[in-house]
Structure 1
Amino acid sequence: MPTATQGIYPPAPCTAVVDAEHPSRGYAVFKDRAGRYQYLVLPLARITGIESPKLLRPDAPNYLADAWLARMYTEAALGRPVPREDIALVVNSAHGRSQNQLHIHVDCVKPSVREALQHALPHLTRTWNMLPMRLPDAHGRRYIARWVEGKRLTINPFAALAGHLGDKDQMQWHSLVVAGARRVDGTPGFILLSTRAEADATPENHKNNGNSDNLHDRSCAIARPDPKK
């Protein structure tokens, strides 16, 4: 991001740069090469990934809250507002990501994933628990999940997950998903999800490598008026 901190606009190759004068908390929005509607949010600061202790500091920027606001770029690409239930943010595990710089995927969820989460929603609380069903991704992986109430993301999901894992596990093995949601009574909020990579996962054996981007639908069919287009 050579122009990201220089105040040059347009900040190519980025779509946007926010708070460039404060790299310790600023971030860039970048159009992902995958799909027409997926964007990435990347901190300007050097942060390796989900396992970075920097994300757990009390004064850490809430990059996932920033990424939720950045869904407007997906909406702009679609040319229409998108219901919160149709959007999810994904951070992959250290073993399932493509680069060692924190990047948050912003895109539409698969219709089948949204349906599964709507069925699970009445059972979710503010405590992490295993989902009763496997999510309909490419491999039917198991996820833990919890509910977060609010129109905006006011908690730090990285800290929420790390607090649940405690000393029994390590963040590097986990993905983190923030899916927009709305309860039956109309209360807006988010579903936090995480799946754990298997130590012996390889591309050949198709075991869980902690990549959750397959919950996304890069065609964004759920939000398009004519899915055939």
Structure 2
Amino acid sequence: MNRSNSFVNSLKWWPLQGHNTNTGSNANGNTTFGSSVAVQKLRESKWFHRDEQRIFCAVIECGFIVEMRKSTASNMQQQNNSYEHEDMQDENETPVTWFGIVLCKLAKDNKPKPDSIEIYYVKIRENGTFKMIKLTLEDIWKNGWELRINNFADREKQPHIEKDIRNQVSFARKAKNSLWNNNKHFVYWCRYGSRQQDVRKRQMSECVKWGSVGMNAGMLLVMNKQKSYSTSK
């Protein structure tokens, strides 16, 4: 067993009491999950399988991006079986990794439960339309897939707060045509892209600016006409 597997196996027996990233005890005297280093390591490099669901739920947060793929073990088997979510596969591409945005409801202990986690991703069609698909963790596991957290632009961009990410997904669900090139572009837009309120503010600003320019130009035109009329008398 390599060091990575040994590390994860040891964490399976660690009490998971929430998203506290400090080792020690909480107010009730219960041991909390891991150190900030351990949690960050799991968030950056670990591919999770069904038997590691408990750990995944302990480190995932609403608004995180997850990368999904067919697990190596089930690769051959899945080639012979039909997928329940056929839209997951792209007919024009062979490489089977794709991205989704995570939304979840927190339980009373401030920790997401497996059945409260929803993963949204988009299937872009050639005609410019798209289909948004919602997955649960159970969908991931029973199709033989695995997933990892991949907030790939966090070092370059400030991610939105949870409310704004939810608003982005809500807006996307109502859109008629695709605003994105692929599902990676979609999750980037959800987590880091222009918020709809900012887009509206820019549009209003442009309207005001060009409206002001138009009004000034109109006034100049009227003044010039009045001037030419008065000089012709």
Which TM-score tier does this pair reach, normalised by the shorter chain? under 0.3
CA radius of gyration, larger in: 2
TM-score between the two structures when normalised by the length of structure 1:
0.27
Structure number with the higher helix fraction is 2
